[in-house]
Amino acid sequence: MTIAQQIATRFNNDGQTWTAPSDNPSNSAGEDHIQDVCLDLAEDTSHTAGADRYDFADGSSIVITSSAWDLGLPGGCFCWEGAGHDDTCDRAQN
Ligand SMILES: [Zn+2]
């Protein structure tokens, strides 16, 4: 399983679950937000006006918007694995 898949599994794999019980005893809130988990584990992050992308050391990625999240596609774009490349994505033309 990739790092992104492991995170997605922890957050129900549904693109809509934002928090999960924390396994860190020093976390007083008792739960982790997916964005914080991604930030902690990401090797690289990038942002557009509408989305944040987190790239992990194994090449997997997660893209998060204000309304949903999904596994990212390879190549650094902000498209989602579940939806495929957006029509305006440079990678979709290739
Ligand atoms: Zn794309």
How many structural domains comprise the chain? Answer: 1
Cα-to-centroid distance, 86 and ligand 1 (Å): 6
Predicted confidence at residue 94, as pLDDT, reads 56
72 Cα–ligand 1 center, Å = 9
Quote the CA–CA distance of 16 and 70 in Å, as a whole number: 9
Write the DSSP string, 20-88: EE---TT-TTSEEEHHHHHHHH-SEEEE-SSEEEEE-TTS-EEEEESS-EEEBPTTS---BTTTBS-TT
Q: pLDDT per residue over 43-53, tens digit each?
A: 999 999 899 99
Domain span at residue 66?
A: 3-93
Question: What's the 61 CA to ligand 1 centre distance in angstroms?
Answer: 12
CB 35 within 8 A of CB 66: no
- For the segment 10-22, what is each residue's pLDDT rounded down to a tens digit? 999 999 999 999 9
Indicate the length of the chain as a whole number: 94
